[in-house]
Amino acid sequence: MKRCLLLLLAAAAVTAPAAAASPTIRLTLIHVMQGCHVWGTADGTALGASRTLKLKPGTRLSIRITCPMDFDIVQTAGPKLALGDPRWHTGTSHVLVFAKKGVYRLEAHNVQTPEEAGLQVMGAVNVDRLVVNVR
């Protein structure tokens, strides 16, 4: 009887579907000449100062700060996110989990001026905005 029960448990473990891992989307904040900084892809492709994403509940968003400035991150709408320390420093990565449906809005404000960070820019400095629609 014991042996039969163990075989049934082993068979169930083999045939049970594995839990699907939540997908992870990767973005960066990168330095550019026009506007100082914008959202970018993991390979450094510039996407612009404003970005809208459509995600499913449970999706993780990893944001890496590659611009040589630090940013204060502010959530202006949507269900509360665990942002951690709202000051995100250059060279750091931050993972946000969008567990609930809704429209999330985030803004990234640079802490230093381009001159303080030793950067050359053309035009006004961007306030980077991110809108995440979770459906």
DSSP string covering 45-71: -EEESEEEEEE-TTEEEEEEE-SSS-E
Q: Is there a domain that residue 15 lies in? A: no
pLDDT digits (tens, 9 = 90+) for 11-24: 444 444 445 667 89
Q: Is there a domain that residue 127 lies in? A: yes
Q: Residue 93's domain spans which residues?
A: 23-134
**Residue 22, pLDDT score:** 75
Q: Is there a domain that residue 14 lies in? A: no
**Residue 9, pLDDT score:** 39
Number of domains making up the chain? 1
108 touches 125 (CB < 8 A): no
Q: Is there a domain that residue 5 lies in? A: no
* Residues lower than pLDDT 70 in the chain: 1-21
**Residue 6, pLDDT score:** 38
**Residue 21, pLDDT score:** 66
Query: Per the structure block, which two tokens stand in for 67?
Result: 């611009």
**Residue 19, pLDDT score:** 53
Residue 34: Cβ within 10 Å count: 12
Q: CA-CA distance, 53 to 21, in Å (whole number)? A: 19
Q: CA-CA distance, 75 to 100, in Å (whole number)? A: 15
Q: Is there a domain that residue 8 lies in? A: no
Q: Is there a domain that residue 18 lies in? A: no
Q: Is there a domain that residue 64 lies in? A: yes
Q: Is there a domain that residue 1 lies in? A: no
**Residue 30, pLDDT score:** 97
β-pair partners for 103: 133
Which residue, 30, 54, 23, is CA-closest to 121? Answer: 30
- In this structure, what CATH number is given to the domain that contains residue 33? 2.60.40.420
The residue with tokens 């040589």 is 68
Q: CA-CA distance, 124 to 135, in Å (whole number)? A: 34
DSSP, res 16: S
